[in-house]
Structure 1
Amino acid sequence: MTDDLRTIERKFGNLSEYSIQVNQWILKPIGAWPITNSTTTVEKITSRILTVVCWCFSLFTIIPGVLNIMLEKEDIYLKLKTLGPLSHWCVGGFNYAVLLLRKNDIHYCIEHIRTDWKMITKSEDQQVMLKNAKLGRYVAGFCAAFMQGGVFCTCLVLGAFKRTIEIGNETMAVYTLPCPAYKFPVQTNPTHDIILGTQFLSAFIASSSAAGAFSLATVFASHALGQLNIMMTWVDEFVNRQSRDENNNACVNKIGIIVEHHLRVLR
């Protein structure tokens, strides 16, 4: 085992955790990380509580926003202007629901990655897996940082500062919200600050859902790519050895290993 592999194994406990750590960071705060046999009772309860809290915050933003479009906005331009931010929360809620419904499939894929790290023991093959794991981590981390940063800045600009409007001959400074809410007195404090805080949190949940789905796809795809590269290396080694080795039993066993691994990667 190379020094790079030893360092990562000492730091993370095992190499498979290095591959999925960023996914855990994104999904655990919103209760979307799969529950496994090793999950403690406290972690299971915490995950369920986080799920309920996340749905409450999300619906607290989505429902008043929908009512605002349906019952308050009469100008089509204002409706479309409100629909833009609201669509982020709606799509985020859909992503969140899909992540929760597909927890078992996500758990299966994560266990698949952990098993692959246990099965592959050759140092050269582990280096290939590590290279693809690093790629998956970097892309997932960049996606999460970009989405969270962009949404946070947008909410900050749209909700934390007053806007100047003209009503007749008067000029007034008023508060606004990232997603307009129906019948809430947003011009008074602490009402505005409370609603703005809930919209910040719900925006974080929506962005984490999208970033979590993308990061899972990235990590799983990069891991599968690494497994295919390893399988190609095995095929090349088999062809080169076949010209020198006359042991038919050894050849049959090697072919069986390659075929089984190919089927495993395809699953």
Structure 2
Amino acid sequence: MTDDPRTVERKYGNLSEYSIQMNRWILKPIGAWPITDSTTTVEKITSQILTVVCWCISLFTIIPGVLNIILEKEDIYLKLKTLGPLSHWCVGGLNYAVLLLRKSDIYYCIEHIRTDWKMITRLEDQQVMLKNAKLGRYIAGFCAAFMQGGVFSACIVYGVFTSQTIEVGNETLIVYGLPCPPYKLPIQLKPIHDIILGTQFLSAFVVTTSATGAFGLAAVFASHAVGQLNIMVVWVNEFTNQHLRSKNDNASVNKIGAIVEHHLRILR
């Protein structure tokens, strides 16, 4: 994609949308995208419903999995084998809770980015910001694709291709595997196994999305801050060169004042 701000603005509506679009795509499906003044009532209700559904799906995997490790009489190898996927669900659930609790802080940072794009009007400075925004988008997109692909591949291997055939008396039973085996549920029965596997796929999507959402926000915010610092360096260099050629003290004071004010804004 070209680094021309005008082209980007025509395509995305405004330049700030290019910076935060990837984060919105990641966080909206799990109801973790901040609610703004422009959010409609339907979107607010949908976000709340998504939050409740995502929590229910996640806890449906986490709670039976924890009970299985604590109460099931299995050897240590099987418990450690289950502990790996279950720890991912637990940490992902914690990430999800933090994202929901920090919605106001995320909203503040997003508005900060939008304001920066409105304040910076010079084409050269916008190109610097656009370059860093592109980096943040690429990192967020790569994290989402890599983590979702890895987790879903693991779920497919655990739930579809992992099964054991055992003989109980004159009967032959097929014991199907799951990423997080639940406690006291008849997963050897095919319909029940498929239902539980489906819910674990959904819960894997929720917890992995929360992790990728956190990484994506960190990448976009950090790359935006780097872009602002790069712009400030350009301003300082321009001020130094102009000050050597010009004797206008008032213009110099105004310029250095703008640089200091922008620096303080970056630090906030």
TM-score (norm: length of structure 1) = 0.96
Residue equivalent to 1:7: 7
Residue type at the aligned position of 1:31: G
Residue 217 in structure 1 maps to residue 238 in structure 2:
no
Question: What's 2:52 paired with?
Answer: 52
Q: Is the 8 A contact 2:82 2:180 kept in 1?
A: yes
Instruction: Provide the TM-score with structure 2 as the length reference.
Output: 0.95
Corresponding position of 1:192 = 193
Which residue of the partner structure matches residue 241 of structure 1?
242
Partner of 2:121: 121
After superposition, residues 122-141 of structure 1 pair within 5 angstroms as 122-141=122-141
**Alignment of structure 1 residues 1-267 onto 2, 5 Å:** 4-165=4-165, 173-267=174-268
**Ranges in structure 2 where 5+ consecutive residues have no aligned partner:** none
Alpha-carbon shift at residue 166 of structure 1 (Å): 5.1
Q: Distance in 2 between matches of 1:193 and 1:44?
A: 32
1:214-243, Cα deviation, whole Å (9 max, x unpaired): 000000000000000000000000000001
Cα pair distance change 1:89/1:103, threshold 3 Å: same
Aligned residue for 2:164, secondary structure, equals strand
Secondary structure at the aligned position of 1:39 is classed as: coil
Displaced runs of 4 or more, over 6 A:
168-171
Query: Does the CA contact (< 8 Å) of 1:73 and 1:79 recur in 2?
Result: no
3-state SS, counterpart of residue 33 of structure 1: coil
| Mean Cα deviation higher: 159-168 or 102-111 | 159-168
Partners in 2 of 1:247 and 1:167 — Cα distance?
A: 93
Shift, 1:172, TM fit? 5.2
Aligned length: 266
Percent identity for Structure 1 against Structure 2: 78
Could you tell me which amino acid in structure 1 is paired with residue 87 of structure 2?
A: S
Q: Work out the CA distance in 2 between the residues paired with 1:246 and 1:5.
A: 34
Shift of 1:3: 7.7
Q: State the alpha-carbon separation in 1 of the partners of residues 127 and 6 from structure 2.
A: 11
Superposed CA RMSD in Å reads 1.6
C-alpha distance in 2, partners of 1:266/1:251?
23
